Amino acid sequence: MRRFSHLLAALLLLLSWSAGRVGASGKRGQPKLAPAFVGAWKAVSDGHVLNLEIDRLILPRDGELAVLGLIRRDGDRLLLRRQGLQETWSARLSGNLLRLEPKDAKAREKAGELAGTYHRLDQVPSEARLEPLPLAAPLPLPSERIQSIQQDIATRFKDEQVLLKSRERNPDEIHRTTEKNRTYLRDLLADIGWVDSARFGTKTSVYAVILAKHTHDLRLMMTILPLAERDLKTPEEGQTYAVLYDALQLDLGHKQLYGTQIAVDAKGPFVLPMEGSRETVNRRLKDMGLPDLDEYLAVAKQAYPGKEVQIRQDG
């Protein structure tokens, strides 16, 4: 019963900012873009930048990065994955120009930020590079500084949860709060390193991971993932690690490994695409000492009263 209660608490905290969004490194796929496509491109219309790597597209937007993973290439048709879901695009080269066009409904929903004509840049701008953040060494700290950081993170966590659980959610206020937390966590990384459990305790480390996950800052999440794995990949706190891992994989254009991430569409809540069969995912969960998918989804459905959480075929 304790494990089930612990899982419920983790789910309510972690699903609170991801359940409505259709929307470090996992296994990379074999498909690759032709070398002629690889590099940085700038839109002729509005000047936004696109970074094409051999197996993904990286799109800077509003100070953040969006990633579309390459699933398959068939001539000029690209099957891509964005936050778990597939999109089909065409990519055509004409001289030094690249033309991107949406080819299905999912792609057309995002056409405004990606479709268009691009010209090649000589180098990839820093804002379009998906790289870990600078990380200070985890040196010993005075007890007063540790206590101050523990209190800061506990307060930020509590304040964010109040906003997320409010019946009258204010998206602008939530965004301002997550942006403040994002800046705070980035500054901590550069100053004292990650909020590890050895120096700050497990509870503070868990709170920090949840705050980081809610920022959807890919560089921040990439940086802390191996550190969270070291601290939290245990039967007691493994759910927090699994949620962080899955959320990052989806944001990087991959599938999730543990089946923790759920989205909602017109048909109801559903588990975003998973790597492997249901049985394979259950084996991964068992290896971590976590409940299987059936138990997890039985708890998750409490966030969606009167609705079943579906597991669908990828597509």
Q: What does the alpha-carbon distance between residue 232 and residue 290 come to, in Å, rounded to a whole number?
A: 12
Which tokens sit at 193? 């390193």
Q: What does the alpha-carbon distance between residue 260 and residue 15 come to, in Å, rounded to a whole number?
A: 9
Residue type, 166: S
> What tens digit of pLDDT does each residue of 12-24 get?
455 544 433 333 4
> What tens digit of pLDDT does each residue of 76-129 get?
999 999 999 999 999 999 999 999 999 999 999 999 999 999 999 999 999 999
Domain residue limits, the chain: 2-24+132-311, 39-128
pLDDT score, position 272: 96
Q: What does the alpha-carbon distance between residue 165 and residue 168 come to, in Å, rounded to a whole number?
A: 9
Q: How many CB atoms neighbour CB 49 within 10 A?
A: 18
Q: What does the alpha-carbon distance between residue 151 and residue 195 come to, in Å, rounded to a whole number?
A: 12
pLDDT score, position 25: 42
pLDDT score, position 235: 86
Instruction: Let me know: does 93 contact 82? Beta carbons within 8 Å.
Output: no
In this prediction the pTM is 0.88
Question: Does residue 133 have a pLDDT over 80?
Answer: yes
Handedness of CA 137, 138, 142, 145 (dihedral sign): positive
